[in-house]
Structure 1
């Protein structure tokens, strides 16, 4: 069982890490927001079909159900991908993946603000700050030109991570009965509609697309591998491993993004990329130290020692 889980974990890290490279490749041919909208037009339909197949409730019913879908569609899908796709135009796949890996840290910060039962210890606050330092090191801004394209791009990716983290927290405030597959499917479809609206507002057009083999492969990869297959693996592992171990995918994905970015796009990670990633990883470990210790004890089959 552990061997199977390990294989699926690696497969998910590969699917989601390489998605950053596929996005970067596809941005050569698609307007950014329209590219993201097309991805979730197709992925949403695939996920809805899967929800119909595996759940008894594939349509939201209650007011709370629709509120959760609204949050998911507007923040987890639309805002996240609008900022990510626009931002990744000016940075590398690895750098984008590393900034997005800040999401679990930001989620803890938002949870402290919006969920009364959540508390941050002094060491947890240090972890939050170390994560932010990691983003600062990664961006390595020029003090004389803080609005250079790369810094602005990384800031947009940071906003993507923040939107995803905020959406993750807000969905926990509502007592809904939605199956996760149903929530994901309708959120994807709503997010796609919102992104088409933003795309039109930005004057993006289908005529701006360069339909090449590479463009088609990038879109197909994002729809089938990163979205449909990736979420199927995610649902399976979430049930088997729980949210803490699943969060660790966020820290395996940048390694995959760096490798695939180097292999397919010739992107070379810098020293600051590595140091920034290390800081974010340390910040996550400080924030989730108790949960990580519990997971290690459970993996080893030993009871946790009391403090």
Structure 2
């Protein structure tokens, strides 16, 4: 029974986070991009903080190290990631954005090898990073004669989002502080939202007056705030404890399937052979980088999903 529950939650998390790319794309028709991301995390941050108060005995940071942890998370994993992602996705499809973001675990491993003394990159790991970059190149199809084209710049911005998240993931590991993950996420969301509001104010094209409050706009905002963020992270916390970080990383490679399906169904976005090829190359790079960890975890993963232990 436990194995079936884990499998169901895994699929639901992938579906929630994958379809979020479709909801972002849909909402961008009605919201300025950075302001859209900020409002999303205004709502999600309040909900996550309420959950942290309920679920933990440390609902706020107390030490300097804990606040540094939150500041890195809010600046890179919330504000930087979502500002780049929302602006970039204006010029690309849900599926392509999700696949480029799935490069983040590969980048995380690369940054860890550089920034964490205990990590080192072997030749196979370098090959994995290279494969990931090839996958992104397949998706972006750079044309030297038109590097300022909107769709290419959009994909570069989504790649910058993946870089920001990966760098934040590694830098938080360098900070000597212990804070419940729910508390860290809640305060990172709230401070990240404030940072994005500041960025939005600095962008001449963005203002609250530019928002069109339609039923579709509200549906996109509610879905992203409640389902993809608040509920999605609760499922993530549960699965992280049950399955571990290697299995959770695999969500990044199932989510693009749901991004493609939801984008195709709701927004009539095409899924091209190059999209599929780019996804497969990036996933191959991840498997090469994580080959030893995956081989160690596969038996436990099979047990968790099938035997119920």
TM class, shorter-length = over 0.9
What does the per-residue CA deviation read over 1:3-42, in whole Å, with 9 as the maximum and x for residues that have no partner? Answer: 1100000000000000000000000000000000000000
- Return the match for 2:228 from 222, 226, 229: 226
CA distance in 2, matches of 1:280, 1:36: 26
CA contact under 8 A between 2:18 and 2:259: conserved in structure 1? yes
Q: 1:252-271 to 2 correspondence within 5 Å? A: 252-271=254-273
Instruction: Look up the match of 1:23.
Output: 24
Instruction: Look up the match of 2:60.
Output: 59
Instruction: Look up the match of 2:306.
Output: none
The change in CA–CA distance for 1:206 and 1:300 in structure 2 (over 3 A counts) is: closer
Task: Using the TM superposition, name which of 290-299 and 33-42 deviates more.
Answer: 290-299
Q: Which runs of 4+ in 1 moved over 3 A?
A: none
CA contact under 8 A between 2:135 and 2:279: conserved in structure 1? yes
Is 1:43 equivalent to 2:44 in the alignment?
A: yes
What TM-score do you get using the length of structure 1 for normalisation?
A: 0.97
- Corresponding residue SS for 1:56: coil
CA distance in 1, matches of 2:99, 2:302: 29
CA contact under 8 A between 1:43 and 1:224: conserved in structure 2? yes
Tell me the CA shift for residue 140 of structure 1.
1.2
CA distance in 2, matches of 1:300, 1:76: 31
- Corresponding residue SS for 1:86: helix
Is 1:243 equivalent to 2:245 in the alignment?
A: yes
Tell me the CA shift for residue 202 of structure 1.
0.1
Tell me the CA shift for residue 150 of structure 1.
0.7
Q: 1:1-307 to 2 correspondence within 5 Å? A: 1-203=2-204, 204-300=206-302
| Structure 1: runs of 5 or more not aligned | 302-307
Instruction: Look up the match of 1:304.
Output: none
What does the per-residue CA deviation read over 1:276-300, in whole Å, with 9 as the maximum and x for residues that have no partner? Answer: 1110000000000011111112235
CA contact under 8 A between 1:68 and 1:171: conserved in structure 2? yes
RMSD over aligned Cα atoms = 0.8
CA contact under 8 A between 2:243 and 2:301: conserved in structure 1? no
CA distance in 2, matches of 1:162, 1:177: 24
Tell me the CA shift for residue 271 of structure 1.
1.5
